[in-house]
């Protein structure tokens, strides 16, 4: 029989796949001799087995759990349910990747009426015993029985009101007794059964609940956002309890070895005396800074500082730790690599290299590529900011600047975002249920909670600006209003601005500006560039895009979409004239009007790129996209064009397609109307000639033929291109080279890539269309089913955001191989939106592409992802 349970000393830090991050690190700390309460870990394999077995814990696994419980009882000398030596345990989830707050935790398990009395007697602290019991009832009910915690809060409020106090810690032992009775009655009434008194039953139910929580909606959303497969499962850690709520020499806290917002090297954290861990994380009471511990308990503080420092050295990274002090004795409950802002991540990585703690390669691995995003987005324009006076200030929980319309629920925020609004999510405090709203918000503001509150941790992880714990601000989620200390009321839909780096809150919108990309960021990205072998280009259609992308380090343009130029107001007239032409001559005449404009565009782009490669794609969309579809609009345009309604209408009807995605577009247009390819070739080549002659910039244009599915298509269009290009170049007298290549974006192009490479001098994988056709998913229509597919575990991620390596990726891989087999020096790139997705970039590196091309703001992400892929490949992580 497989081993499904490990005592902490049986594991170590390298076993995170099996034991989860928390379990592996508890084992590692135990092995390092640090003060860790004893316990055992139920493996992630037990969790996947639970799902395979139709959501039941196999009897053999149950047996192993009880066997290891026995071992724990022997080691601790305490026994679950034994009033003489009662063992109480925590039951906590712990997946391979950290998913803070996404799954469930139960503390004080083992409590029942008898044990509560026994603990009261043993500790001579009835308030502590009863407080622990009532907490356990609440957590067990919530997590195991799905009877929400909040339904219990009512009773606490009742008791506090009756007593005329405000804080939980003002309640005494008697009050706790009353609460226990009220809680048990509520449990009985709501669930039709007594609160379970058998600790072993409690344990098994709790384990089951943690397994189940792996599949809760917020965990699923989090996983999807963070590319964590459902199949990983979570481990469960059962650990003997230590108590931070035993009195004034007890407490609990969390801390980082460096400031997770700025990266500054100093112990950073918070603690609460006489409290359990949930109180800190939930942000209900406002905790003290960790430095205050030096005054109250200097020895414990020093011990903690030493342990922190050892852990950071040991793991070579900034640590995020949980600890509890029980009667002045320190216990470590968790350590992990700390989540941090992008800014902090960069600073920590650079500092760790400077401190000699890790190599550049290791440093590169410490920053999530996606996080960089937050460094690239606008901050407030200083002048605009100067003019603005904050109306309130909260904690600077996640840096960046944001402005948008306020919404008070995750649903409303998501709905407004869907309607194209920039939104700021405003909440009393966030909870894991708010994750969907946070994901779409420009910024998040909460009235309560500290720097390690849920809102702060999650926003930092997302790279979203967050101001937390804004005191003096009243949030009424019911009335959908935000009331400031001076009486100003902001209603739903009105704008505020947030500065996540200072914590300031402003009324209205404040102008923003781009980020600076120098200093630590520059050094760090320089290392990434040294390490990576995969080039990074950008998708850009205008000189402005080109300038922006070069700032972000783009090494060329991988995709310049010429049709965007066609849509501009002045040009669309000529484009439409071309479309309604009846003869080749008319079409040529209309194209001749477009030519100088398009040539001008290309000149601007070539100049902006200063000789870096530029790949220009020939016209791609179906022609009907340039014409109106409604009769009224057709009439208007017909008048404007001086043709009859009937003529234009019949043209529109002619061009109508049942499935435009699979219709007359891409190179098919050039086969039907070679004069389009001719005109575009002339614009591309003559622009290059002009810039070369005027600015001395040597250019090798790359002309890309889209939507090829058959080598003969490319052969035909290439002949058209060559005839025009060769004539222009010869006439220019310049020694200009140019390349003709193709998109690989139909499955057939991928499958026949060996043949296509006979003509194509480069391939650019158009993974957007390739994904559409390989799945048979229209991107415009897939929204209807995607949510259901996620819910039913049919898909784990959106294949349009993250390259599907099993299907689409297989085609990319084999096409790359086939292309190279025909033309060993063929240039290979990718220009779908996947080019900016880190896991997809890693795949592109592994497949041996020469470059990825992505939108300008994703260029730094791709550079870092490419470096990480290289580090992994070399095994230097």
Q: Which residues are catalytic?
A: 454, 831
Residue with smaller CB distance to its own copies, 411 or 657:
657
Residue 703: its H or E element: strand 702-705
Alpha-carbon distance of 510 to 401, in angstroms, equals 9
Q: Which of 245, 272, 299, 288 is nearest to 125 (CA)?
A: 245
Alpha-carbon distance of 831 to 768, in angstroms, equals 8
The only residue of 789, 798, 822, 876 in contact with its own copies, by rule CB under 8 A: 789
Closest approach, Cβ 655 to its own copies, in A, equals 9
Site string for its own copies, 650-679 (x = CB under 8 A): -------xxxxxxxx---x--xx-------
The only residue of 641, 751, 801, 846 in contact with its own copies, by rule CB under 8 A: 751
Alpha-carbon distance of 665 to 648, in angstroms, equals 20
Token couple for 545: 């895009």
Residue with smaller CB distance to its own copies, 167 or 658:
658
Closest approach, Cβ 815 to its own copies, in A, equals 11
Closest approach, Cβ 775 to its own copies, in A, equals 5
Alpha-carbon distance of 125 to 801, in angstroms, equals 55
3-class SS at 104?
Answer: coil
Do residues 615 and 558 touch, judged by C-beta distance below 8 A?
A: yes
Stretch 683-742 residues interacting with its own copies (CB under 8 A)? 707, 709-710, 712-713, 716
Do residues 688 and 701 touch, judged by C-beta distance below 8 A?
A: yes
Alpha-carbon distance of 495 to 304, in angstroms, equals 44
With contacts defined by CB under 8 A, name the span among 214-222, 400-408, 788-796, 860-868 that binds its own copies: 788-796
Closest approach, Cβ 694 to its own copies, in A, equals 37
Strand partners for 90: 239
Token couple for 680: 């575009």
Closest approach, Cβ 51 to its own copies, in A, equals 13
Stretch 330-349 residues interacting with its own copies (CB under 8 A)? none
CA-based torsion, 10, 16, 19, 21: positive or negative = positive
Residue with smaller CB distance to its own copies, 680 or 709:
709
Strand partners for 39: 239
Residue 752 binding its own copies, by CB under 8 A: yes
Closest approach, Cβ 54 to its own copies, in A, equals 11
Q: Which of 778, 834, 828 is nearest to 809 (CA)?
A: 834
Alpha-carbon distance of 238 to 88, in angstroms, equals 10
Size of the site for its own copies (CB under 8 A): 48
Q: Which of 390, 385, 392, 342 is nearest to 367 (CA)?
A: 342
Residue 52 binding its own copies, by CB under 8 A: no
Alpha-carbon distance of 165 to 171, in angstroms, equals 8
Residue with smaller CB distance to its own copies, 757 or 795:
795
Alpha-carbon distance of 604 to 655, in angstroms, equals 33
Residue with smaller CB distance to its own copies, 789 or 857:
789
The count of C-alpha atoms lying within 13 angstroms of the C-alpha of 527, restricted to the half-sphere facing its C-beta, is: 21
Which residues, 6+ apart, have CB-to-CB distance to 533 below 8 Å?
Answer: 845, 866, 870
Alpha-carbon distance of 857 to 853, in angstroms, equals 11
User: Residue holding tokens 């305490």?
Assistant: 78
Within 469-540, strands assigned E span 474-476, 481-483, 489-491, 495-499, 504-507, 512-513, 535-539
Residue with smaller CB distance to its own copies, 18 or 755:
755
Residue 232 binding its own copies, by CB under 8 A: no
Token couple for 612: 């870096």
Stretch 766-785 residues interacting with its own copies (CB under 8 A)? 769, 772-778, 780-781, 784-785
Closest approach, Cβ 458 to its own copies, in A, equals 28
Residue with smaller CB distance to its own copies, 694 or 788:
788
Stretch 577-606 residues interacting with its own copies (CB under 8 A)? none
Quickly count: other Cβ atoms within 10 Å of residue 228's Cβ: 20
Residue with smaller CB distance to its own copies, 320 or 769:
769
Closest approach, Cβ 780 to its own copies, in A, equals 4
In 228-372, which ranges are continuous DSSP H helix? 277-282, 292-296, 298-315, 342-354, 360-364
Alpha-carbon distance of 332 to 307, in angstroms, equals 9
The only residue of 748, 820, 872, 876 in contact with its own copies, by rule CB under 8 A: 748
How buried is 463 (Cβ within 10 angstroms: 0-12 exposed, 13-18 middle, 19+ buried)?
Answer: buried
Residue with smaller CB distance to its own copies, 51 or 775:
775
Closest approach, Cβ 670 to its own copies, in A, equals 11
Closest approach, Cβ 673 to its own copies, in A, equals 10
Site string for its own copies, 798-827 (x = CB under 8 A): ------x-xxx-xx----------------
Residue with smaller CB distance to its own copies, 545 or 713:
713
Which residues, 6+ apart, have CB-to-CB distance to 248 below 8 Å?
Answer: 273, 274
Alpha-carbon distance of 174 to 488, in angstroms, equals 42
Residue with smaller CB distance to its own copies, 177 or 752:
752
How far, in Å, are 225, 323, 834, 839 from residue 809 at the CA level? 20, 44, 11, 12
Q: Contact residues for its own copies (CB under 8 A)? A: 657-664, 668, 671-672, 707, 709-710, 712-713, 716, 745-748, 751-752, 755, 769, 772-778, 780-781, 784-785, 788-789, 792-795, 804, 806-808, 810-811
């Amino acid at each position: 029989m497989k081993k499904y349970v490990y005592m902490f000393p049986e594991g170590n830090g390298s076993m995170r796949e099996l034991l989860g991050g928390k379990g592996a690190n508890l084992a590692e700390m135990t092995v390092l001799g640090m003060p860790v309460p004893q316990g055992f870990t139920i493996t992630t394999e037990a969790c996947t087995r639970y799902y395979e077995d139709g959501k039941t814990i196999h009897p053999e696994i149950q047996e192993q759990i009880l066997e290891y419980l026995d071992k724990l009882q022997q080691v601790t000398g305490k026994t679950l349910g034994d009033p003489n030596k009662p063992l109480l345990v925590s039951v906590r989830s712990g997946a391979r990747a950290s998913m803070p707050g996404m799954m469930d935790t139960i503390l004080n398990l083992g409590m029942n009426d008898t044990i509560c009395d026994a603990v009261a007697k043993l500790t001579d602290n009835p308030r502590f015993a009863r407080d622990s019991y009532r907490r356990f009832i609440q957590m067990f009910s919530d997590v195991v029985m799905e009877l929400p915690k909040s339904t219990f809060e009512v009773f606490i409020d009742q008791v506090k009101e009756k007593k005329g106090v405000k804080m939980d810690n003002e309640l005494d032992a008697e009050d706790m007794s009353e609460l226990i009775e009220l809680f048990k009655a509520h449990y009985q009434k709501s669930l039709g059964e007594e609160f379970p008194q058998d600790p072993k039953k409690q344990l098994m139910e709790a384990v089951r609940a943690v397994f189940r929580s792996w599949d809760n909606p917020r965990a699923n959303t989090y996983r999807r956002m963070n590319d964590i497969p459902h199949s990983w499962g979570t481990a469960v850690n059962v650990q003997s309890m230590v108590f931070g709520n035993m009195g004034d020499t007890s407490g609990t806290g969390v801390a980082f070895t460096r400031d997770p917002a700025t990266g500054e090297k100093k112990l950073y954290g918070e603690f609460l005396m006489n409290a359990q861990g949930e109180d800190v994380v939930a942000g209900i009471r406002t905790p003290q800074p960790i430095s205050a511990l030096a005054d109250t308990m200097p020895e414990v503080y020093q011990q903690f500082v030493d342990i922190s420092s050892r852990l950071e050295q040991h793991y070579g990274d900034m640590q995020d730790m949980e600890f509890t002090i029980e009667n002045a004795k320190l216990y470590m409950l968790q350590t992990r690599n700390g989540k941090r802002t992008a800014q902090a991540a960069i600073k920590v990585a650079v500092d760790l290299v400077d401190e000699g703690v890790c190599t550049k390669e290791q440093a590169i691995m410490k920053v999530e590529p996606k996080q960089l995003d937050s460094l690239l987005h606008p901050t407030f324009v200083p002048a605009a900011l100067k003019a603005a006076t904050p109306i309130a200030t909260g904690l600077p929980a996640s840096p960046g600047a944001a402005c948008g319309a306020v919404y008070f629920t995750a649903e409303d925020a998501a709905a407004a975002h869907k309607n194209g609004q920039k939104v700021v999510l405003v909440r009393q405090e966030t909870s894991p249920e708010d994750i969907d709203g946070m994901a779409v918000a420009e910024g998040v503001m909460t009235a309560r909670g500290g720097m390690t509150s849920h809102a702060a941790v999650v926003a930092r992880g997302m790279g979203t600006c967050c101001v937390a714990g804004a005191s003096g601000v009243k949030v009424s989620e019911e009335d959908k209003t935000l009331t400031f200390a001076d009486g100003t009321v902001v209603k739903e839909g009105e704008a505020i601005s947030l500065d996540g780096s200072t914590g300031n809150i402003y009324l209205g919108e404040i102008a923003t500006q781009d980020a600076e990309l120098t200093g630590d960021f520059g050094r760090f990205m320089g290392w990434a560039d040294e390490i990576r072998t995969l080039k990074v280009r950008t998708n850009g259609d205008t000189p402005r895009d080109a300038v922006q992308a070069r700032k972000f380090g783009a090494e060329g343009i991988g995709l310049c979409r010429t049709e965007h130029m066609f849509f501009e107001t002045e040009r669309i007239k000529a484009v439409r004239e071309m479309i309604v032409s009846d003869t080749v001559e008319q079409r040529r005449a209309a194209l001749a009007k477009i030519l100088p404009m398009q040539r001008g565009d290309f000149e601007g782009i070539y100049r902006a790129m200063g000789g870096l490669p530029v790949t220009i794609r020939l016209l791609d969309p179906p022609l009907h996209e340039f014409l109106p579809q409604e009769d009224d609009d057709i009439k208007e345009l017909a008048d404007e064009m001086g043709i009859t309604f009937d003529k234009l209408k019949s043209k529109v009807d002619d061009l109508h397609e049942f499935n435009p995605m699979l219709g007359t577009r891409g190179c098919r247009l050039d086969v039907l109307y070679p004069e389009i390819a001719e005109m575009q070739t002339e614009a591309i080549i003559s622009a290059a000639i002009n810039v070369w002659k005027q600015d001395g910039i040597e250019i090798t244009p790359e002309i890309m033929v889209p939507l090829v599915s058959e080598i003969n298509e490319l052969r035909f269009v290439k002949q058209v291109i060559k005839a025009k290009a060769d004539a222009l170049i010869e006439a220019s007298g310049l020694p200009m080279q140019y390349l003709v290549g193709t998109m690989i974006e139909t499955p057939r192009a991928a499958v026949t890539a060996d043949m296509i490479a006979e003509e194509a001098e480069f391939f650019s994988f158009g993974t957007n269309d390739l994904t559409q056709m390989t799945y048979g998913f229209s991107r415009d229509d897939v929204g209807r089913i995607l949510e259901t597919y996620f819910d039913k575990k049919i898909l784990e991620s959106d294949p349009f955001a993250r390259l599907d390596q099993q299907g689409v990726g297989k085609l990319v891989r084999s096409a790359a191989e086939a292309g190279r087999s025909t033309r060993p020096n063929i240039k290979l790139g990718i220009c779908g939106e996947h080019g900016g997705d880190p896991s997809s970039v890693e795949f592109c590196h592994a497949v041996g592409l020469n470059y990825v091309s992505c939108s300008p703001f994703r260029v730094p992400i791709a550079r870092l992802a490419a470096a990480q892929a290289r580090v992994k490949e070399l095994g230097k992580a």
